[in-house]
Amino acid sequence: MALSLQDIIPHLNAEIHGNISSKEIDLVSIDSRSMQNNEHTLFFALSGPNYDAHSYIYELIERGVRNFVVHYIPANVELKANFFVVSDTKLALQKFAEYYRNLFSFPVIGITGSNGKTIVKEWLNFLLSPDFNIIRSPKSYNSQIGVPLSVIATNEMHNLGIFEAGISTVGEMNALQKIIKPTIGLLTNIGSAHDEGFDNIGEKIKEKLQLFKDVDVLIYHKNRTIEQFLPSIGIQITSLGTKRRTFNWSFKDKEADVFISKNSVLDKTLLKIDYKKQSFEVKVPFLDDASVENAIQCLMVLLHFGYNFETIENRMNLLYPVEMRLKVKNGINNTTIIDDSYSSDFQSLKIALDFLESQNQHKKKTLILSDIFQSGLSNEELYARVSQLVISNKINRVIGIGETISQYKSKFVNCTTFNSTADFISAFEDLTFENETLLVKGARSFEFEKIVVLLEEKTHETVLEINLNAISHNLSFYKSKLKPSTKLMVMVKAFGYGSGGFEIAKLLEHLQVDYLGVAFADEGISLKISGIKTPIMVLNPENTSFRAIIQFQLEPEIYCMKGLNAFLKITEEKKLKNYPVHIKIDTGMHRLGFEEEDLPLLIETLKNTPSIEVKSVLSHLATSDDLENHDFATQQIALFERLSRQIMDELQINPIRHILNTSGISNFGESQYDMVRLGIGLYGISNDEKEQKYLENVGTLKSVISQIRTIEKNESVGYGRKFVAIQSMKIATIPIGYADGISRLWGNEIGYVMINNQKAPILGSICMDMLMVDCSGINCTEGDKVIVFGENPSVKEIAKKTHTIPYEILTSISQRVKRIFYRE
């Protein structure tokens, strides 16, 4: 975009510290971790209850950034950069985007609604891209921060904008309306999602409609609920032909501008469209109501743009399911694949590269990239910029696929190119892919999914999918319960509660938690070897592992004199200074820890030990989740207060104190001390029903149907003939069994799996590697997906019915079940 600071600053309403003459800005950033930041970055330091980007300014200056929009100037940096001080940095970002939007005057489609925004946006982009240079929100950037960032990416060559707006409470849409300033409004389905911020549905609709208050035309699914609120944004339904037009459709109401009837034909839906006294037919390759409705919204836009029926038919027929996730998969030869094989535009390339950085599994990084379409830039400039990105993100190798990128090969340092995906595939055997991270990013027409199939490690069909966004969400939820000064340790013991050790740890490091906790030294060592730098506490170190603990800079919990003396022997022999250790006190759990009577000797020993430093003092509650034993927990906390105080006073030290686990945070929030230890809550499980509603499900265990058969009355299923049919029925075999961690107690019709959103009860006993379910009445075929747990059935439900706790279920999922990590 290249703007001068002189043009920008007046719109921020900022107090200027520094010199703004002749500074060019071509990147607006809010992410201190992005490697794309440089001297042409304008950095907005956002802050919230649990984070403050101002604390990274020093680091950013070291990396060359010179211009900051801040709320305050941190100590000791005043003279090193320019600071534009404002009262609210988020607001300043929005003001800047508003100003920037006004530099352009092409049509802009603004989309809001409860469901379908991102899909409609992606489809419109696909349908309209043959004729326009489109700027659109990347992924689902639709928030108070995502929208300004999306709009700021516009450049001179774009001639159509498509932006989505999402809100969670009253008052937010106004800000987004000013930034998007849509000329064409599109309201998708209004459902009950995200209801918390609104008193009622009317309030929610009114707020969403604010986006459309200045549009030339509003496109919507005709219905009375919506229409009764249209006058609130100055639209009268009857005023067809005036400047403020509506353009609506319906399956039922013949008065609608476009009347549609639908029919399913095999795997497609046939739409018959009546418009302006003419009619034509369009086939869309979907059967479900939501997809059909989203496709119709897109069709309405095409009609509004005046496309002829034939073009509409041809393009709509090509709509495809949108994959919005960046998926992380295990690849061949110890590679990690980041699969973003459904889109290729400059903005989403930047996002994918930032994601690549955050998932830094391997030092070596390869980008497999197709031609980039409709960037709005000349190819010369586009590939020069791509090359810049590749350099700043330290990508070692680029594999370009497509005729255009092949022409610009010389812009890249280590680059191989192929004219087509087919050429790449025929050369595949001669290329090496090993011990590296591969970002696969291509426009849909390049069919990069074929490349992903080649690169992917071939596995078992049962997988545990881990939603990394849900982990971030759950972390923020618990952070919001903490005082700003409370530190956070997250427990990643037992392979991250079964969810994946390294991947979770890497994400937590990225989210800047203060400590990680593991049970044994081995777990910590493998995290350190894979590059985790966040301090790691080892809860249960064996004396034999002390040397390795020191070698890998892990921090042991010390819980008895024998351990302390053994550890001291080594630290003294190695002449270490202030090696961090954590002292555990037993306050009633009676598992590990020093008791009150041990303290005098402990304190005496610690007095003369410069080789170690008591980094923290901790204890653990036995009943934090059990309100009937509330008093017991309170006594434990009181004892902890007294004993830890004694240690602090007598040693004259001020260590971090911590006693709360997840349910401790929920139920004993006033005893946060200096740090808390979050465990199961991160993985989406709370034993408080109210709190559970705010958590997102993290793990979904999926399998497939191996075989379907019909059995007759009196035939039995499985070992021991535990199930006998009382009538003819259809059953399916699923390749997952107790060796994968599914308890046999969940068999014999106690438990069920979900097939195509319907319950299929488990019949007979669960086998080692398989189980059988009743799928009579479910429309399904061999190869269909099966959900073993996730949203439904939830791990909590399974735990309850199999007489155990969610912890055991999560950690029992066998290591032979592949974990797949993804981000929405």
Ligand X SMILES: *Cc1c(COP(=O)(O)O)cnc(C)c1O
Task: Report the residue number, 386 or 678, with the smaller CB distance to ligand X.
Answer: 678
Only segment of 33-41, 137-145, 548-556, 679-687 that touches ligand X (CB under 6 A)? 679-687
Cα separation values, 135 from 37, 539, 690, 780, Å: 22, 51, 41, 40
CA angle 217, 218, 219 (to 5 degrees): 120
Both tokens of residue 26?
Answer: 């071509």
672 binds ligand X, rule: CB under 6 A: no
Task: Report the residue number, 161 or 588, with the smaller CB distance to ligand X.
Answer: 588
Both tokens of residue 326?
Answer: 């960046």
Name the residue type at position 193: A
- Residue nearest to ligand X according to CB distances in the complex: 679
Task: Report the residue number, 349 or 678, with the smaller CB distance to ligand X.
Answer: 678
796 binds ligand X, rule: CB under 6 A: no
Give me the torsion for CA of 86, 87, 90, 94, rounded to 10°. -70
**Cis ω on the peptide bond leading into residue 793 (within 30° of 0)?**
yes
Both tokens of residue 790?
Answer: 């996730």
**Nearest-approach distance from CB 620 to ligand X, in angstroms:** 4
687 binds ligand X, rule: CB under 6 A: no
Residue given tokens 């078992």 in the structure block: 460
Task: Report the residue number, 451 or 488, with the smaller CB distance to ligand X.
Answer: 488
- Taking the C-alpha atoms of residue 383 and residue 607, their distance in angstroms, rounded to an integer, is 63
Touching ligand X, residues 732-761 (CB under 6 A): none
Neighbours of 192 (CB within 10 A): 9
Task: Report the residue number, 275 or 807, with the smaller CB distance to ligand X.
Answer: 807
Given the residues 493, 506, 615, 796, the one annotated as active site: 493
**Nearest-approach distance from CB 637 to ligand X, in angstroms:** 14
Only segment of 85-93, 151-159, 609-617, 659-667 that touches ligand X (CB under 6 A)? 659-667
**Nearest-approach distance from CB 564 to ligand X, in angstroms:** 18
- Interacting residue with ligand X among 9, 14, 491, 775 (CB under 6 A): 491
**Nearest-approach distance from CB 662 to ligand X, in angstroms:** 3
- Interacting residue with ligand X among 620, 657, 702, 819 (CB under 6 A): 620
Name the residue type at position 104: F
547-570 burial, b at 16+ Cβ within 10 Å, e below that, comes to: ebbbebebbbbbbbeebbebbbeb
Query: Does residue 822 carry a catalytic annotation?
Result: no
First-residue to last-residue Cα distance in the chain: 28
- Interacting residue with ligand X among 101, 362, 582, 677 (CB under 6 A): 677
Task: Report the residue number, 164 or 625, with the smaller CB distance to ligand X.
Answer: 625
Render 578-636 in DSSP notation, one character per residue.
SEEEEEEB-SSS-SSSB-GGGHHHHHHHHHT-TTEEEEEEE---SSTT-GGGHHHHHHH
Only segment of 157-165, 600-608, 672-680, 763-771 that touches ligand X (CB under 6 A)? 672-680
- The number of helix segments (H) and strand segments (E) in the chain equals 27, 41
822 beta partners = 327, 467
Render 528-579 in DSSP notation, one character per residue.
HHTT--S-EEESS--GGGHHHHHHTT-EEEE-SHHHHHHHHHHHHHTT-SSE
518 binds ligand X, rule: CB under 6 A: no
662 binds ligand X, rule: CB under 6 A: yes
**Nearest-approach distance from CB 471 to ligand X, in angstroms:** 14
Task: Report the residue number, 116 or 496, with the smaller CB distance to ligand X.
Answer: 496
**Nearest-approach distance from CB 559 to ligand X, in angstroms:** 10
DSSP 209: H
Cα separation values, 402 from 323, 356, 423, 471, Å: 22, 22, 10, 37
**Nearest-approach distance from CB 568 to ligand X, in angstroms:** 23
- Interacting residue with ligand X among 50, 118, 571, 661 (CB under 6 A): 661
- Interacting residue with ligand X among 185, 496, 524, 679 (CB under 6 A): 679
SS3 call for 674: coil
Site string for ligand X, 38-77 (x = CB under 6 A): ----------------------------------------
Site string for ligand X, 439-478 (x = CB under 6 A): ----------------------------------------
**Nearest-approach distance from CB 594 to ligand X, in angstroms:** 14
Site string for ligand X, 200-229 (x = CB under 6 A): ------------------------------
Only segment of 108-116, 677-685, 781-789, 796-804 that touches ligand X (CB under 6 A)? 677-685
Residues making up the chain, counted from first to last: 824
Q: Judging by beta carbons within 10 Å of its beta carbon (0-12, 13-18, 19+), is residue 359 exposed, middle or buried? A: buried
- Interacting residue with ligand X among 680, 717, 736, 795 (CB under 6 A): 680
- Interacting residue with ligand X among 539, 585, 760, 770 (CB under 6 A): 539
SS3 call for 162: strand
657 binds ligand X, rule: CB under 6 A: no
Only segment of 48-56, 341-349, 671-679, 777-785 that touches ligand X (CB under 6 A)? 671-679
User: 455 CB contacts (<8 Å, ≥6 apart)?
Assistant: 331, 332, 335, 337, 433, 438, 440
Taking Cα atoms as reference points, which of 609, 621, 620 lies closest to residue 653?
A: 609
Only segment of 20-28, 355-363, 526-534, 660-668 that touches ligand X (CB under 6 A)? 660-668
Task: Report the residue number, 367 or 516, with the smaller CB distance to ligand X.
Answer: 516
Task: Report the residue number, 153 or 682, with the smaller CB distance to ligand X.
Answer: 682
Query: Does residue 807 carry a catalytic annotation?
Result: no
**Nearest-approach distance from CB 396 to ligand X, in angstroms:** 39
- Taking the C-alpha atoms of residue 818 and residue 319, their distance in angstroms, rounded to an integer, is 31
Judged by CB under 6 A, how many residues of this single chain contact ligand X? Answer: 12
Taking Cα atoms as reference points, which of 7, 10, 30, 6 lies closest to residue 19?
A: 6
Task: Report the residue number, 124 or 621, with the smaller CB distance to ligand X.
Answer: 621
**Nearest-approach distance from CB 811 to ligand X, in angstroms:** 10
Task: Report the residue number, 143 or 666, with the smaller CB distance to ligand X.
Answer: 666
411 binds ligand X, rule: CB under 6 A: no
- Taking the C-alpha atoms of residue 446 and residue 302, their distance in angstroms, rounded to an integer, is 25
Task: Report the residue number, 216 or 688, with the smaller CB distance to ligand X.
Answer: 688
Sign of CA dihedral 741, 743, 744, 746: negative
φ, ψ for residue 576, nearest 5 deg? -80, 160
- Taking the C-alpha atoms of residue 159 and residue 132, their distance in angstroms, rounded to an integer, is 6
**Nearest-approach distance from CB 585 to ligand X, in angstroms:** 12
Task: Report the residue number, 14 or 680, with the smaller CB distance to ligand X.
Answer: 680
Half-sphere exposure of 795 (CA within 13 A, CB side): 29
Given the residues 320, 562, 719, 785, the one annotated as active site: 719
**Nearest-approach distance from CB 665 to ligand X, in angstroms:** 8
667 binds ligand X, rule: CB under 6 A: no
Question: Which residues does the annotation mark as catalytic?
Answer: 493, 719
Per CB under 6 A, residues contacting ligand X are 491, 493, 539, 620, 661-663, 677-681
